[in-house]
Every structure is written in C-alpha cells, then in structure tokens.
Amino acid sequence: MGANAVRKVALITGGNRGLGKDMALSLAEAGMDIILTYNANQQEGEEVAERIRASGGRAAALRFNLSDASAIDGFIAEVQALMNAQFDGAERIDFLVNNAGIGRAIPLDRLTEADFDTFANIHFKGVLFLTQKALRIMNDGGGVVFITAAADRYNVPNYGLYAACKGAIEVFSRYVAKEYGPRGIRSNTVAPGGVPTDFNDGFIRHNPKLQEMVVAQTPMGRLADAHDIGGLVRLLCSDDARWMTGQRLEATGGFNI
C-alpha cells in the first residue's frame, strides 16, 4: 500500500477466535485497519489485535453482545469514536464481516421457545440490525460478508434451528445486494462446512470419528483449516471481487456433492 493510500477499515464480529480470528489476520495482511469484536473473552480479542499491531497494522478489539439488539446503536457510536481516535480521524467503515455466532445440536422435538429466541436473536435479528446500522456508516464501494453454513444445503441431524437461521441470512444478503448495489456496495455469503475450531465446544476438533467421516466424503481429501475460510473472506473484501454480489460461496472442499 502506497504512503498516501487511504486505508480501508473492516469490522469483524467474533474476531477473537476460530474462523473470525483468521479473517481478522487475513484482512490485516491485506493492509486493512481492523476492528474485531469479542463477547466474553477480552484477552483473546486483545491478543489478536496486538498480533496485528505487532505486524505493523492497526487494530482494536471491542466487546459486543450480538444477542442484544438494543445495544447496537451504542456499539456503532463506539466504533466511530474508536476510528476517529485511532485510525486517523476515520468515521466510516468499508467492510462488515458478520461472523459471530453460536452452535448447539438440538433435536427438533426438544426445541424450546427459549432456544429459538437465543438462536434467532444472535443469528438473524442481531445480524440484520447490525448490518442495517453498519451500512449507514459504510463507504460507497464497500461490502458485507455474511458467514452462514453449508448445513443449510445438506442436512446435519439436530442442526435444524441453526441452519434455518443461516438460511434466512442468505436471503437477507441478497436483499442487501439489491438495495445497496447503487452505492457500489456488494453483499455475499460464505457457507463453510465443518472446520475443527473451538466452535460448538470444539465438537469436530475433539471427535476423531467425525473427522474421519468428513474426510472420507470430501473430494479434496482433508479437513478444512481456518485459513480456507479466511482467505475467501479476504478475496470478497478485495477489488478482485468488486463485480460479485448477491452470491453464496460454499467452502467445504466439495463435501457431500
């Protein structure tokens, strides 16, 4: 990046661990300023931000509870204040990566209204209203990336509620693409398959038999790693993807095709 180039700013939810951590590091390597969020583990968030700063980038970690839609206005104001103070007076972002989420296997006959509210507030309502308000402070020519799930294409037992929320976000993403296209803002979804991170209490990471099954059904013959997803997000936030919008990109190594 040239000395006089304007640095772009990416806001990444859940950027303190797993896939989100790699997204933050990947976009920082591309020369972007990074604001990443964490929900409970401040130390993890600060460690990722410090790693970016140690490499010559600019980054900050903010606490944000995606399940509380009433807190979004205050969070957006905090983001703008942080940029103004730390990122050369910037007040607008260029990219939003909606990554934060939770996972839990719940059989349909055991679903409760509380389960529904928990998942819908995090994976749909929170994402929708954060996106709405982030778009108000987004530069023209920017973009939104929604992290959904390959499980909304192929059925994973006991993940019906999770997958349904992710499917709703994929529809919403297309509407963002339609309504914000005139501003040059693109909107796409990335649908990862299983990645052995600590998501859902490390369910895949700590389950060797499940890993064997996944590899056996994956034409590329291995498990995914976080950079397989982070690299794709980096592409979508680059000028190389400036003509792609309203698309769903499944990143599974061909699992279950």
Residue 257 domain-assigned (yes or no) = no
Asked whether residue 145 is domain-assigned, the answer is yes
Tell me what pLDDT residue 153 has. Answer: 82
Residue 147's domain is classified under what CATH number? 3.40.50.720
Domain-located, residue 15? yes
**Does residue 194 form part of some domain?**
yes
Number of domains making up the chain: 1
Q: Is residue 67 part of a domain?
A: yes
Do the domain assignments include residue 216?
A: yes
pLDDT of 198 reads 62
pLDDT in tens, the chain (257 residues): 544 567 999 999 999 999 999 999 999 999 999 999 999 999 999 999 999 999 999 999 999 999 999 999 999 999 999 999 999 999 999 999 999 999 899 999 999 999 999 999 999 999 999 999 999 999 999 999 999 998 888 888 898 999 999 999 999 999 999 999 999 999 999 999 877 666 545 566 667 877 777 787 788 888 888 889 999 999 999 999 999 999 999 988 888 77
Mean per-residue pLDDT over the chain, rounded = 92
Task: Examine residue 254 and state whether it is found in any structural domain, yes or no.
Answer: no
CA dihedral 81, 85, 87, 88 (to 10 degrees): 120
| Structural domain contains residue 252 | no
What integer pLDDT is reported at residue 197 of this predicted model? 61
* Residue-range definition of the domain harbouring residue 71: 9-247
Rounded Cα distance between 54 and 70, Å, is 34
